[in-house]
């Protein structure tokens, strides 16, 4: 599947995903999380955590090189991922011991 465009990959399996259920479709799945409030991100994380297709979703987004939205419990926006990583790193100056 490597190198395929998202539109080239069959997506029928997605119909069984937790996010595809009628009461979950209104969540902002295609919006990058830096644009959302914490409550929306938490709600989407809970849906993904209990999804029986989470592993298939993770493989799909990696193979199809999806670069935006919320998939398999994670933000796929590369710049948001880099921002989160920087925020998670300890401030090196704060750890300097004189």
Cα separation, 80 vs 67, whole angstroms = 10
For residue 84, count CB atoms less than 10 angstroms from its CB and return exposed for 0-12, middle for 13-18, buried for 19 or more.
middle
Q: What pLDDT is attached to residue 1? A: 45
List the structure tokens of 59: 């493989």
**What's the predicted TM-score (pTM) here?**
0.68
Tell me the pLDDT tens digit for each residue of 1-54.
Answer: 456 566 666 678 889 999 999 999 999 998 888 888 999 999 999 999 999 999
């Amino acid at each position: 599947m490597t190198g395929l465009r998202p539109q080239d990959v069959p997506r029928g399996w997605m119909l069984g995903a937790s996010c595809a259920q009628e009461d979950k479709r209104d969540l902002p799945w295609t919006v990058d999380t830096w644009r959302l409030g914490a409550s929306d991100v938490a709600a989407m994380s809970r849906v993904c955590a209990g999804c029986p297709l989470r592993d298939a979703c993770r493989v799909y987004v990696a193979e199809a090189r999806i670069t935006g939205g919320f998939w398999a419990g994670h933000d796929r926006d590369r710049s948001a991922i880099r921002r989160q990583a920087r925020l998670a790193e300890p401030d090196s100056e704060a750890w300097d011991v004189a």
